[in-house]
Amino acid sequence: MLGPLGAGGMGEVYRARDTRLEREVAIKVLPEELADDEERLRRFEREAKTLASLNHPNVAGIHGVDQEEDVCFLALELVPGE
């Protein structure tokens, strides 16, 4: 993780480095307190599936969805900007 980018109702977003592919990405993390809520977890997974189905220049692409221990996260295209 390189640093925070922002936060919203469904998680926090961080700038990170994908060491395998040698690129910067955005990592959206579902907070632990929401990961125990089945409805929130379903929404998070639905967001991942929706992003995967989209192909538009104004929508960040998704590289993957994963879980490490109790932390669920999305690996997203890092969009330049402020």
CA gap 36, 29 in Å, rounded: 13
pTM, entire model: 0.88
CA gap 71, 17 in Å, rounded: 18
Q: Hey, what are 69's tokens? A: 């221990």
SS (HEC) of 33-66 = HHHCCHHHHHHHHHHHHHHHHCCCCCCCCEEEEE
Distance between start and end Cα atoms, the chain: 18
Residue 70's pLDDT band, with cuts at 50, 70 and 90, is confident
CATH class given for the domain over 3-77: alpha beta
Q: Provide the residue ranges of all domains of the chain, joining segments of one domain with +.
A: 3-77
pLDDT at 44: 93
pLDDT at 82: 58
